[in-house]
Amino acid sequence: MSFKKLPYGISNFADLIEDGYAYVDKTRFIEYLENENGRYQFFVRPRRFGKSLFLSVLENYYDINKKDKFETLFGNLYIGKNSTPEQGKYAVIQFDFSGLDVRTHEIFRKSFLDRVQEVAALFFDRYKDILSVSQTSLDALDAKTLGLGAIDLIYRATTVANVGLFVIIDEYDSFANNLIAMGEAYKKETEKESGVVRAFYELLKAGTKSVVKRMFATGISPMMATDLTSGFNIAANLSLFAKYNEMFGFTREEVEWIIDETNIDRNLIEVDMETYYNGYLFDEDGENKVYNSQMVLFFFNQIKISGRSPKEIVDTNLKTDSGRLERLAGSERNREKLLQIIRDGGIFGNVISSFSQNQLENEEYFVSLLFYLGMLTIDKVVEGQTYLKIPNYSIKTLYWEYVIFYAQAIEKGAVNKTELIQTIRDMAYRCDFKSFLDFFTEHRLKLLSNRDLTSFDEKYIKSMMLATVADSGLYHPISENENIGGYSDIYFQKHHSVADIKFEYVFELKYVKTGASKSEKDKKFSDAAKQIEKYKKDPRFANRSNLKFVAIVFQGKGDYEAKEL
């Protein structure tokens, strides 16, 4: 049997098909989109969900220049057997606004206008056999910097040729956070008539009266679309409809198909992929939860390269999103909300379909933004209110990185990581968990302010402990690990790539305030012991000499007592 290549990092659909890569067939959604009443469509999903590849699918399907390649590219796919009336009908122009220069506002404006002009030049070159005025238009672009004036040239050329225009926009909001960080730049670009971003979308809107027949735009959140107001109000947001829940990302069945199609050795998949990469649900009525597609392909690509089980489970590119959390948590209210989510694993909050940047101080809108960023996802609906949870282990690590950032801000600098990891190594190889607990209380808990202690409890401690251990590379810290006796607070499971670790741990954490009596502490230890006895009955934990059960009672912000049970 011949196998397909693994499509990690491939976002050009024609290359993917022609060069023998596996393609998870999402082409049925082309039919859905074409049958929608609205021809101007807008869709948001978190990063690394395969948006760019899907846009390339649309480009290859609708491009009048590629009509003759339809059978080659789509013949074996759903849409190849169920083609739609508009296949191969349009001149397609695609704007990708990632990677713009955002060092200053003025540099951004120039970078944005240059990108528009570059795309226009490529458009005229691509359709020089169809558009009679292509060369004249190219000469005009070469002669001077037209910026948004290039859009008018495109409209004029397609009108003369009587060809409809399909506008595709990738990463429509990739620069938004940078503009927000500049102060007034974001407002000037989205709310003021002088903004080049707003003017660009106003031009696209004007084009829908003549040659712009279809539009499909993607991004990360609906925030900038809302702030563009009239500039973007022609596009229907399809992001939260159940039938589009699986348009991006992979279902479990699709992950299994990739494994078989690309000959991934199942024996090398030593982690629970569902725990690490699955869990996303974008509508409560969605049929299946989906995996982050690029996380899955990252994991499989390491297996292909190394021929062994990967050490890195979380895509290193994902860590750039931790910086996004730091910026979002700029206000005290948002910081407290993030810490609450980290502590509880989720939060009640209905998803808002549109909101403005200046509303992010409001809890409901801030939580919705976390949902769009993929930091929360739909879990269940209780009494008409949606419970949003952290989707998977990979995303938990981003929250833990934020906890470390927050802790370092309290400490006015980073802890000695070498010393920290040594205490975790002592715990792993010498059963010395006390050294780690001493370090943890000294460098984390004792530095907390009295204000931090107002809502302090064992969940707060647990979050900080998970974050502290997560980066060691020695353990997979698992919180609220489900077992037959309940949910253990922390299970330090040895890292799958470090085979010689001698000891694993189940920690049951309790907390009493400063000044608590001995009887209160004894009661907490008694409660912890009862829970641990239940955990020991779990078949995974029973009769294991290398697994240590430890009850820990923290008092105030600096004292603790630990007992191995």
* CA distance linking residue 559 with residue 555, whole number of Å: 5
Measured in whole angstroms, how far is the alpha carbon of residue 362 from the centre of its chain? 22
Tokens representing 500 are: 């010689």
Do 31 and 179 fall into the same domain? yes
Q: What mean pLDDT comes out for the span 3-15?
A: 96
Return the C-alpha torsion angle 118, 232, 109, 187, nearest 10.
-170
Instruction: Check if the beta carbon of residue 158 is closer than 8 Å to that of residue 64.
Output: no
182 with 138, same domain? yes
> For residue 475, what are the domain limits?
415-564
Q: How far apart are CA 378 and CA 348, in angstroms?
A: 10
Nearest CA-CA partner of 245 in 297, 295, 287: 287
Please indicate, yes or no, whether residues 466 and 518 belong to a single structural domain of this protein: yes
Whether residue 124 contacts residue 141, with contact meaning beta carbons closer than 8 Å, is answered with yes
Is residue 401 a part of any domain in this protein?
no
Domain assignment present for residue 274? The answer is no
The predicted-structure confidence for 444-457, as pLDDT tens digits, reads as follows 777 766 555 556 67
Indicate whether 63 and 155 sit together in one domain.
yes
User: pLDDT value at position 496?
Assistant: 83
Whether residue 278 is contained in a domain is answered as no
User: Are 187 and 324 in the same domain?
Assistant: no
**What confidence tens digit (pLDDT) does each residue in 181-214 have?**
888 999 999 987 789 999 999 999 999 999 999 9
Q: What percent of the chain has pLDDT over 90?
A: 63
| pLDDT per residue as tens digits for the range 467-518 | 889 878 899 888 876 555 666 778 999 988 888 999 999 999 999 988 899 9
Is residue 33 assigned to a domain?
yes
pLDDT at site 520: 93
| pLDDT of amino acid 154 | 96
The DSSP bridge pattern shows strands 377-382 and 385-389 to be antiparallel
280/290 Cα distance (integer angstroms): 5
- pLDDT, residue 9, reads 92
Report the C-alpha gap between 72 and 17 in whole angstroms. 8
Same domain, 137 and 183: yes
User: Do 248 and 58 touch, CB atoms closer than 8 A?
Assistant: no
* Residues 240/241/247/253 CA torsion (nearest 10 deg): 110
Cα–Cα distance measured from residue 501 to residue 288, given in angstroms and rounded to the nearest whole number? 37
Give Cα 282 to chain centroid, integer Å. Answer: 13
Q: What is the pLDDT of residue 488?
A: 72
Residues 50 and 199 in one domain: yes
Specify if 294 maps to a domain: no
Looking at the DSSP bridge assignments, the partners of residue 564 are: 550
Same domain, 198 and 126: yes
CA distances from 39 to 79, 86, 167, 419 (A): 19, 12, 11, 59
Residues 539 and 427 in one domain: yes
Q: Are strands 486-494 and 504-512 parallel, antiparallel or unpaired?
A: antiparallel
pLDDT for 337-386, tens place per residue? 888 898 888 999 989 999 998 888 888 899 999 999 999 999 998 888 89
Written as six digits, the tokens of 187 are 């407002």
Q: Which two tokens stand for residue 325?
A: 């959390």
Does residue 423 lie within any of the structural domains? yes
CATH number of the domain that residue 200 is part of: 3.40.50
Strands (E), 349-474: 377-382, 385-389
The pTM assigned to this predicted structure is 0.90
In this predicted structure, the answer to whether residue 81 has a pLDDT above a threshold of 80 is yes
Residue type, 350: N
Q: Which residues contact 88 (CB under 8 A, 6 or more apart)?
A: 61, 62, 63, 64, 66, 67, 70
Does any domain span residue 271?
no
Domain total in the chain: 3
pLDDT mean across residues, the chain: 90
Per-residue confidence (pLDDT) for residue 497, from 0 to 100: 83
SS3 label, residue 406: helix
Return left, alpha or beta for 99; rule: phi > 0 is left, psi -120 to 50 is alpha, else beta: left
CA distances from 214 to 32, 52, 168, 241 (A): 14, 17, 8, 20
Q: Is residue 505 part of a domain?
A: yes
Do 138 and 62 lie in one domain? The reply is yes
DSSP state of 62: H
* Highest mean pLDDT out of 49-63, 141-155, 188-202: 49-63
Q: Tell me the C-alpha distance between 173 and 209, whole Å.
A: 24
416 pLDDT tier (thresholds 50, 70, 90): confident
Verify that 70 and 131 share a domain, yes or no.
yes
Could you say which of 213, 241, 269 is where a domain stops? 241
With contact defined as beta carbons under 8 Å apart, do 48 and 318 qualify? yes
Domain match, 367 and 462 both: no
Residue indicated by tokens 């299946």: 288
Query: For residues 312 and 302, what is the distance between their CA atoms, to the nearest angstrom?
Result: 8
The strand ranges marked E within 152-302 are 165-170, 212-219, 236-237
